[in-house]
Amino acid sequence: MSDLTKLTIAEARERLRKGEVTSVELTEACLREIEGAGALNAFVHHTPDVAMEQARAADARLAEGDAPAMCGIPLGIKDLFCTRGVPSQAGSRILQGFLPEYESTVSQQLFDAGAVMLGKLNMDEFAMGSSNETSTYGNAVSPWRRGNDEAELTPGGSSGGSAAAVAADLCLAATGTDTGGSIRQPAAFVGITGLKPTYGRCSRWGIVAFASSLDQAGPMTKTVRDAAIMLGAMAGHDPKDSTSADLPVPDFEAALTGDVRGKKIGIPKEYRMDGMPEEIEALWSRGQEMLRDAGAEIVDISLPHTQYALPAYYVIAPAEASSNLARYDGVRYGHRAKLSQGDGITEMYEKTRAEGFGAEVKRRVMVGTYVLSAGFYDAYYNRARRVRTLIKRDFEQVFDAGIDAILTPATPSAAFGLGEMSDADPVQMYLNDVFTVTVNLAGLPGISVPAGLDKQGLPLGLQLIGRPWEEADLLNSAYALERAAGFVAKPAKWW
């Protein structure tokens, strides 16, 4: 019965409703897979007792015929989400021992819909990273390998544990969060679907904040249909997050007709980067052909400020992070350094933060502190916010000209080996997000769809970017792309 964990949400929903399988059976199957997958280091806090209790409750609801779409579906939850009474560390040592007294809105909504939490998933510390190598729990490992080469590969980041867990069928789906590409890049690296909704679609309440004007939660799933189903349960207005949009949540799944005839798909010339691997270029061309064959019109477009997105991001995100992470001071929660005789409160702050934060987090907090400091605020922070306005305007202009969605590669390469980037300077790692970060700066929805394998047999993804609040239409375009690409490859089990 181990094939149960390979089910999509949609398949499991049908079987649960027909009574062919119970949530308890599904959940037990997932827990067994997780038990045997320690080598992936995807699940970092296991919650089998919570899971079984939720599964029994879901089965009771199913028996009564009260079964929302997510009822009984076993999920992994990224460690960035605060979950009541369950460790929620954001992958950081500084939150060691933290047990939230409250539940994040997104996880609460999933639980209200009957979903089951199997445990918490590995991630880069405070979601800062593109390879899951900055986590206090150690690296998450991709279930994929380069042929017979046993070198461990990154599942991407920051939602690396979510990506590894879904790709390895340890759970049916997982939550992720995306500040510069942290859902879409890992999804592309492991051959799954990852959706970052419009900024404000999902409540950020109870999600550990990294860069509040960019952070957004979203589903990481095996199919586009599953992303539509799961987003429906995650989305919605929340009075506790003043930036969450008070807009109705449409039936995203109902939009999946696969009919994209007459849709205008933009191909931005600025995304054709120097030194881009030929395979990425070829995949992108194939994606255009697939959508054209499905009846869409392919239109060349220009987003002239694209090259400034990463530099703007590396001002704005660290600035917001330095402010958000000021709360980790050793007073209210988490780690406090042991103090020496005579140490005062300043030494307590400085030692606590030096011990509690990893190198990348320290680097970004200090860069953020610098760009916000007196004398540099205008030159760096305000300039970056003005460039951000221009980046968003680029998108508005192409959407005003009638473009329905934009097709780009999801990542500039396939997954790289863990440790392979360790000698590179930080900026080299930041380039992983070159195709995804524009979407966060403009607040748009973006989805990564697995579309092919490279010569080494590793997955590659394509990204579709949609108009604000039109996730339903975006998901439908992604559905057409998914059907045409017919990606079915799975990693061979070695763990």
Partner 1 sequence: MSIDLETARRVAKLARIKVEDEALPALADEFNTILGFIEQLNEVDIEGVEPMTSVTPMRLKRRDDVVTDGGHPEKILSNAPDAREGFFAVPKVVE
314 is an interface residue for partner 1 by CB under 8 A: yes
> Of these, 32, 146, 392, 490, which contacts partner 1 (CB under 8 A)?
392
Judged by CB, which is closer to partner 1: 29, or 406? 406
| Residue 49 C-beta: closest distance to partner 1, Å | 20
Annotated active-site residue 78? The verdict is yes
> Of these, 151, 254, 331, 492, which contacts partner 1 (CB under 8 A)?
331
| Residue 437 C-beta: closest distance to partner 1, Å | 13
| Residue 55 C-beta: closest distance to partner 1, Å | 28
340 is an interface residue for partner 1 by CB under 8 A: no
Annotated active-site residue 422? The verdict is no
Catalytic residue chosen out of the listed positions 78, 120, 196, 264? 78
336 is an interface residue for partner 1 by CB under 8 A: yes
350 is an interface residue for partner 1 by CB under 8 A: yes
Interface segment toward partner 1; rule CB under 8 A; list 37-45, 138-146, 370-378, 480-488:
370-378
Partners of residue 194 on adjacent β-strands: 220, 448
Residues 411, 417, 419: CA angle, nearest 5 degrees:
115
> Of these, 89, 305, 449, 472, which contacts partner 1 (CB under 8 A)?
305
Q: How far is 336 from 353, CA to CA, in rounded Å? A: 8
> Of these, 153, 442, 449, 480, which contacts partner 1 (CB under 8 A)?
442
Interface segment toward partner 1; rule CB under 8 A; list 23-31, 258-266, 293-301, 347-355:
347-355
Interface segment toward partner 1; rule CB under 8 A; list 50-58, 279-287, 441-449, 473-481:
441-449
Radius of gyration of the CA atoms of the chain, in A: 21
Report residue 279 CA to chain centroid gap: 24
Site for partner 1 in 98-127 (CB under 8 A): 98-99, 101
397 is an interface residue for partner 1 by CB under 8 A: no
274 is an interface residue for partner 1 by CB under 8 A: no
Edge-to-edge strand list for the sheet holding 173-178:
43-46, 116-121, 74-78, 173-178, 216-221, 193-196, 446-453, 459-466, 405-409, 264-268, 297-301
370 is an interface residue for partner 1 by CB under 8 A: yes
State the DSSP H helix or E strand holding residue 44, giving kind and residue range, or none if neither.
strand 43-46
Structure tokens at 297: 């019109």
Report the phi/psi class of residue 127: left, alpha or beta, with left for phi > 0 and alpha for psi in -120 to 50.
Answer: left
311 is an interface residue for partner 1 by CB under 8 A: yes
Q: Exposed e or buried b for every residue in 143-177, given b needs 16+ CB within 10 A? A: bbbbeeeeebbbbbbbbbbbbbbbbbbbbbbbbbb
> Of these, 69, 384, 465, 475, which contacts partner 1 (CB under 8 A)?
384
250 is an interface residue for partner 1 by CB under 8 A: no
Q: Is 78 helix (H, G, I), strand (E, B) or coil?
A: strand
Site for partner 1 in 208-237 (CB under 8 A): 213
Q: How far is 367 from 363, CA to CA, in rounded Å? A: 6
Helix %, strand %, coil % for the chain, to 5? 40, 15, 45
Q: Are strands 264-268 and 297-301 parallel, antiparallel or unpaired?
A: parallel
Structure tokens at 357: 């934060």
Catalytic residue chosen out of the listed positions 23, 182, 244, 477? 182
495 is an interface residue for partner 1 by CB under 8 A: no
Judged by CB, which is closer to partner 1: 299, or 339? 339
335 is an interface residue for partner 1 by CB under 8 A: yes
Q: How far is 48 from 321, CA to CA, in rounded Å? A: 33
The count of residues interacting with partner 1 (CB under 8 A) is 72
357 is an interface residue for partner 1 by CB under 8 A: yes
* DSSP assignment of 185-201: HHHHHHT-EEEEPPTTS
> Of these, 1, 39, 401, 427, which contacts partner 1 (CB under 8 A)?
427
Interface segment toward partner 1; rule CB under 8 A; list 39-47, 58-66, 306-314, 476-484:
306-314
Judged by CB, which is closer to partner 1: 123, or 444? 444
Sequence letter at residue 109? Q
> Of these, 49, 150, 246, 400, which contacts partner 1 (CB under 8 A)?
246
Q: Are strands 405-409 and 173-178 parallel, antiparallel or unpaired?
A: unpaired
248 is an interface residue for partner 1 by CB under 8 A: no
* DSSP assignment of 254-269: GG-----TT-EEEEEG
**Dihedral of alpha carbons 74, 75, 81, 86, sign:** positive
Annotated active-site residue 212? The verdict is no
> Of these, 52, 87, 146, 243, which contacts partner 1 (CB under 8 A)?
243
Q: How far is 181 from 254, CA to CA, in rounded Å? A: 27
**N- to C-terminal Cα separation, the chain:** 19
Judged by CB, which is closer to partner 1: 61, or 392? 392
426 is an interface residue for partner 1 by CB under 8 A: yes
> Of these, 279, 329, 394, 470, which contacts partner 1 (CB under 8 A)?
329
489 is an interface residue for partner 1 by CB under 8 A: no
Question: Contact at 8 Å (CB) between 440 and 196?
Answer: yes
| Residue 382 C-beta: closest distance to partner 1, Å | 5
272 is an interface residue for partner 1 by CB under 8 A: no
Question: Contact at 8 Å (CB) between 4 and 21?
Answer: yes
Just list the catalytic residues: 78, 158, 182
